[in-house]
Amino acid sequence: MSRIWRALTLTIFPEMFPGPLGLSLAGKALGEGKWVLSTLDIRDFATDKHRSVDDTPAGGGAGMVMRADIAAPAIDAARAAMPTDTPTIYLSPRGAQLTQVRVRDLAGGPGVILLCGRFEGVDQRALDARNVEEVSIGDYVLSGGELAAQVLIDACVRLLPGVAGNEASLAEESFASGLLEYPHYTRPREWEGRAIPDVLLSGDHEKIAKWRREQAEKITKEGRPDLWQKLTRR
Ligand code: SAH
């Protein structure tokens, strides 16, 4: 029996969830029990009466750092609540950048435990002691890990069986084959003097497939030479 995919997020803002994950494709699937979302409030692991989770950086400097003695027990509690083979990921600009290949890999597993940082980040000792992998969603800095966690979850959930309405569309979309996707058109047939390319109205499926493939290659070559190189080097 296949297990249900689960995401558990560790955050000081549990009210940010489900957020956008409660709507549209992911939200519908969540409502139907096709995946499970839970949150643990990191503040519940605070030990003082103010429920503080951060402190000033050792060595000085700006900002605050999430304490190891609070982050680590929160990670432990998350791990105890999830299947033992669930990966633990700290969303962090320092991590390896998330790719569709990794998303597919994560979607095929039991789920994810996601640690959302705030402030300047998390005390390194907690990450080392709990052997937490770091994953980035891109080369820019967010104010917290929650949006990044939602990006990762959304990308995974849409690949789960029975979630996307049309699973055939997943095979063709950007990155699935290493290429970016071809352009889309729909009615009206002419709009502001712009026509839908003739070939798409020809009814010739072979010709259409060939055109789409050529477009995908052209778009990838021009827009993302790095992807194109990777593809042609294989
Ligand atoms: N001082 C850190 C940035 C902290 S931003 C640095 O310079 O690397 C606060 C939190 O936002 C981080 O702990 C992380 O959880 C999240 N975050 C910020 N940018 C991110 C990104 N590109 N990908 C994933 N998480 C990110």
For ligand 1, say whether the CB of 65 is within 6 Å of any of its atoms. Answer: no
Q: Which amino acid is at 75?
A: I
Average pLDDT over residues 75-84: 98
Average pLDDT over residues 26-47: 98
Atom in ligand 1 nearest the alpha carbon of residue 90: 15
Q: Which of 16, 180, 179 is nearest to 91 (CA)?
A: 16
The residue whose CA has the least distance to atom 8 of ligand 1 is 93
The residue whose CA has the least distance to atom 2 of ligand 1 is 120
The sign of the dihedral angle between the CA atoms of 74, 80, 81, 82 is positive
In DSSP terms, 10 is beta-bridged to 40, 115
CA distance 171 to 176: 6
Average pLDDT over residues 65-81: 98
Inter-axis angle of helices 145-157 and 100-107, nearest 10: 70
Q: Which two tokens stand for residue 148?
A: 């990044």
Share of the chain above pLDDT 70, in %: 100
For ligand 1, say whether the CB of 141 is within 6 Å of any of its atoms. Answer: yes
Output the CA 31–ligand 1 centroid distance in Å: 30
pLDDT digits 0-9 by tens, 160-176: 999 997 777 788 888 98
- What are the distances in angstroms from CA 136 to CA 25, 98, 116, 151, 176? 24, 6, 11, 10, 20
Give the pLDDT score at 170. Answer: 84
Give the pLDDT score at 1. Answer: 55
